[in-house]
Amino acid sequence: MFSWLIVLLVFCVGLGYIYIRIQPVILRYAHSQAETIMLNSANEAVVKILKNNDFSYGDIAVLTRDSGGNVKSLEIDTYKINYLKSNISNEISNIISKKERYTVGIPIGTFFDNSFTAGFGPDVKFKMQMTSTAFVDFEHEFRDAGINQVLHRVVVKITINGSLLIAGYKRNISVNTSAIAAQTVIVGAVPEGFTNVIENENDNTAGLINDYGVIGE
């Protein structure tokens, strides 16, 4: 009986040693796949929400001009901005929730830490789980597009923070991505800073645009 306990103990220690040696490889593969899932989910959510709502630049931003055709102000519809933020964030969560449990397949030769064996052999599969939270915001970019022409972009900025969970280990994950929600070329003389931006007390859009004194090159 005692000899069997020794064998069992040696076997368990051996498995523990092997797991410690291969754990960095597992984490590297799992982390990479989790990032891919998050980024693809964010892109899928943005495309879906923007397509379903069919918002154009004119639905989000309105320019006012004086009698000479010069731009006086840029007005942002923060209701629609906040609507998009909320819907994109919810859609990202819905998509990722369907993919939070996934399987990583790693070729057995990769575990030998040898360039000649990496990628060879049958896959060893490991079950993974991740959790995530998406943060969505909008930013405004102004770029010189020529003489008396300014390119204005409304950009969706997305940050997804999460955790990767495997047996006995937890690793934090964070990814960032962006997409253009709408854009237009403003033709005509523009002020050094845009003012008169519609906002509400829960939105910081106006702070991003008011007195936007420097146009990006």
Q: What pLDDT, in 10s, does the model give residues 36-64?
A: 999 999 999 999 998 888 878 888 887 77
Three-class secondary structure of residue 35 per DSSP? helix
Predicted local distance difference test score (pLDDT) of residue 196: 40
pLDDT grade for 77, boundaries at 50, 70 and 90: confident
C-alpha–C-alpha distance, residues 91 and 112, integer Å: 41
C-alpha–C-alpha distance, residues 34 and 102, integer Å: 9
Helices vs strands, H then E, count in the chain: 4, 6
**Whole-number average pLDDT of the chain:** 75
Predicted local distance difference test score (pLDDT) of residue 6: 63
C-alpha–C-alpha distance, residues 97 and 131, integer Å: 8
Say whether pLDDT at 204 is over 80: no
> pTM of this prediction?
0.72
pLDDT by residue (tens digit) across 92-148?
999 998 888 888 887 777 767 666 666 677 777 878 888 889 999 888 887 777 777
